[in-house]
Amino acid sequence: MAANTTPPAANGTSANGSSANHRFDPNFTQHVIDLMSPETLPRHREILTSLIKHMHDFCRDVELKQEEWVIGVNYVNSLGQAYKKNRNETWRVCDILGIESLVDEINHTVVTDDGRAPTSSAILGPFWSPETPFRDLGASVVQDMPKDGELTMFHGVVKDVDTGKGIPNAVFDMWQASTNGKYDVFDPENQTRHNLRGKFRTDRDGKFWFYCLKPTEYAIETTGPSATLLTMMHRHPYRPAHIHIMVTHPDYVGLTAQLYPRDDPYLETDTACAVKDDLILDFKPVENEPKGAVLDVEYDVRLISKKYKPDNTMLMENANQSKF
Amino acid sequence: MAANTTPPAANGTSANGSSANHRFDPNFTQHVIDLMSPETLPRHREILTSLIKHMHDFCRDVELKQEEWVIGVNYVNSLGQAYKKNRNETWRVCDILGIESLVDEINHTVVTDDGRAPTSSAILGPFWSPETPFRDLGASVVQDMPKDGELTMFHGVVKDVDTGKGIPNAVFDMWQASTNGKYDVFDPENQTRHNLRGKFRTDRDGKFWFYCLKPTEYAIETTGPSATLLTMMHRHPYRPAHIHIMVTHPDYVGLTAQLYPRDDPYLETDTACAVKDDLILDFKPVENEPKGAVLDVEYDVRLISKKYKPDNTMLMENANQSKF
């Protein structure tokens, strides 16, 4: 049990952080941690120890009132109660609090020996498809052209971040929502299957090029406990417009990212906290483009050799499918 | 958005705590916090700011893997999905992680001007009844005597922690489970209503005395996600034996606590982490007691004047009723 016979110091304040700096029983948190037996698996112990410390410090930092704690208990219960197919409120709450994006960064931060970073990673999202077809370089992913669509010539080079040289035979897989904010198979207006999706194989210089749309921003679901949290924070439900990419090559660490137009109004306030500076695209107006594109984007991808992260896997590809 | 164009420092380790000491984007957590608008209510901002900081630091401290995060999301969903009447898994998980007990301490730690502490508080639990009858001093709460029951003479003084003097007319409300671990209305063996419950009013010297049972330890529910957490930590599901008390007087801060026999095997490892040293009772054998008691307990309660905590309320009394 936690020692509590001697009265605690009555110094009142407890605003900042560490377990040591507050007026409550200084042994309690370690007591709870020590309840774990020596048989507890090391990774379980590591995760639960940190979780207990941080949850306790959180309660002490804000001097959580009992009625606030009860609200929190009820809120956590409401997340699981709202769960259904294609709707994962806990996942959304993690997005809103930046947790999915942070976990993504933690799992993908890797730099070369001299400190150069590959293209930043961003969350996969729920709409990647394992069945997207390969298309020829120069083809268009736009099978159903919406009236307000802006055809865009998208081109660039997949490069080795160490050497700066192009990587031949890399796979550049992309997918995007149409101008109504819907992805092909989730669109009640019935887009053609594989509309706005395509895989492209880089040429011998590492180059890729194809036609797509300038992407459109959209709002996440605006009901349920995740929406309540957004309202409490006075935040909007919008994600900035984005094009998803997944770039792979057997010798390189795979990259999953989202690319955002520089003129998007939600870059700074993305509801999923997933925007990074090096993932921003410049859509430049063009005229008399051979296939009628009105915009041009040049974007190079930097991949890092697997020698820097030999255990890289893309385990999330399946797990993520049940997100929304 | 979080700045990420300059490569992060490649210093590898990130084992301990603060947001500043890791190899990840140092601006990301503040970025998420700053998404809250100026209209956010101050208390919401305070709580969410601390929650975001601690959840982010937790993820960074353990370098949470994406598949571990998905397990966590699924676990949180399972808590709400297991919710039903008299079963609140999120509440239980908070007990197992020491959170309910900690919040209880945070909300009840108050000391006199010269640093003397009243009797420690402990969690109310789900079995308090607002309808418990007053009984005469010296009466027995044992209406149904179990075969293995040990009748106990329980007596003491309710004192002012400042003056040490007895407090007349304080209400000493107590409730306990029978030897089968069940409380009256929750017992399938049908205990008489109000069995093992009673309210006593202290005499003009602050004294109270009555007969009860030596309490018996019991296990919490051993199925569902909370039990999975206990198993992961290699912890047992037992609460130590305890007698619940709620002691009130109009001029004093109300006390809710649990009292534990010193010889209980689960004091150090209480599954709800609610034992405190000054809540431990010595049950002493007696012979030829007038009403046949075989044990005697003396326990004094120290209350603190409301002048030290004028806003004290006992809001939890109703909220707690739906716990298990």
Give the Cα separation of A99 and B56 in Å (integer): 7
- Between chain A and chain B, how many beta carbons pairs sit less than 8 Å apart? 268
Q: Which residue has the higher pLDDT, A232 or B313?
A: A232
Share of chain B above pLDDT 90, in %: 70
Residues of chain A with CATH 2.60.130.10: 89-322
* Residues contacting residue B180 through CB under 8 Å, at least 6 positions apart: B146, B187, B189, B216
| Residue A12: predicted pLDDT | 35
pLDDT at B4 over 60: no
- Residue B37 with chain A: CB contacts under 8 Å: 233-235
pLDDT number for residue A308: 86
User: What pLDDT is stored for residue A13 in this prediction?
Assistant: 35
Q: What is the DSSP letter of B186?
A: G
For A210-220, give one letter per residue: b (16+ CB within 10 A) or e: bbbbbbbbbeb
Question: How much is the pLDDT for B226?
Answer: 93
Instruction: State the amino acid at position B315 in one-letter form.
Output: L
pLDDT digit string (tens) for A6-43? 333 333 333 334 445 567 888 899 999 999 999 999 99
CATH 3.40.50.300 holds for A89-322: no
How does residue A3 score in pLDDT terms, banded at 50, 70 and 90? very low
Closest CA to B122 of B106, B101, B103, B107: B101
Predicted local confidence at residue B115, as pLDDT: 83
By CB neighbour count within 10 A (0-12 exposed, 13-18 middle, 19+ buried), where does B28 fall? buried
Task: Reply yes or no on whether the pLDDT at A55 is more than 90.
Answer: yes
Cβ contact, residue pair A105, B232, below 8 Å: no
Digit-coded pLDDT (tens) for A167-207: 999 999 999 999 998 899 887 778 899 999 999 999 999 99
Please tell me the distance in Å from A96's CA to the nearest CA on chain B: 8
pLDDT 10s digits, A270-322? 999 999 989 999 999 999 999 999 999 999 999 999 988 766 454 444 334 33
Which residue on chain A is closest to B50 by alpha carbon? A58
Alpha-carbon span A102 to B72, nearest angstrom: 15
For A81, the closest of B80, B235, B270 (CB atoms) is B80
| Residue B109 near chain A (CB below 8 Å) | yes
Per-residue pLDDT tens digits for B267-297 = 999 999 999 989 999 999 999 999 999 999 9
Q: What is the pLDDT of residues A134-164, one digit of tens each?
A: 999 999 999 999 999 999 999 999 999 999 9
According to DSSP, residue B135 is labeled: -
Q: In Å, how far is B212's CA from the nearest CA of chain A?
A: 25
Smallest Cα–Cα separation from B131: which of B197, B86, B210, B201? B197
Between A223 and B201, whose confidence is greater?
A: B201
> Which chain A residue has its CA at the smallest distance from B64's CA?
A103
Label residue A103 by pLDDT band (50, 70, 90): very high
ipTM of the modeled complex: 0.82
Specify the amino acid at residue B285: P
- pLDDT at residue number A319: 39
- Out of B89, B267, B278, the one facing A4 most closely (by C-beta) is B278
The CATH number fitting domain B113-312, selected from 2.60.130.10, 3.90.190.10, 3.40.50.970, 3.40.50.2000: 2.60.130.10
For B143-147, what is the mean pLDDT? 93
Distances (CA, A) of A106 to A122, B5, B60, B292: 11, 16, 7, 67
Q: Which residue of B has its CA nearest to A272?
A: B32
Q: Which of these, A141, A135, A119, A111, lies nearest to A300 by C-alpha position?
A: A119
Segment B209-266, tens digit of pLDDT = 999 999 998 888 788 999 999 999 999 999 999 999 999 999 999 999 999 999 999 9
Chain-chain contact of B2 with A275 (C-beta, under 8 angstroms): yes
Residues in B 145-174 with any Cβ partner in A closer than 8 A: none
A119 touches chain B (CB under 8 A): no
- Identify the weakest region by mean pLDDT among A303-307, B52-56, B220-224, B303-307: B220-224
Nearest to B80 among A44, A79, A100 (CB): A79
Contact map slice: B 239-298 vs A, CB within 8 A: 267-270, 273, 275-278
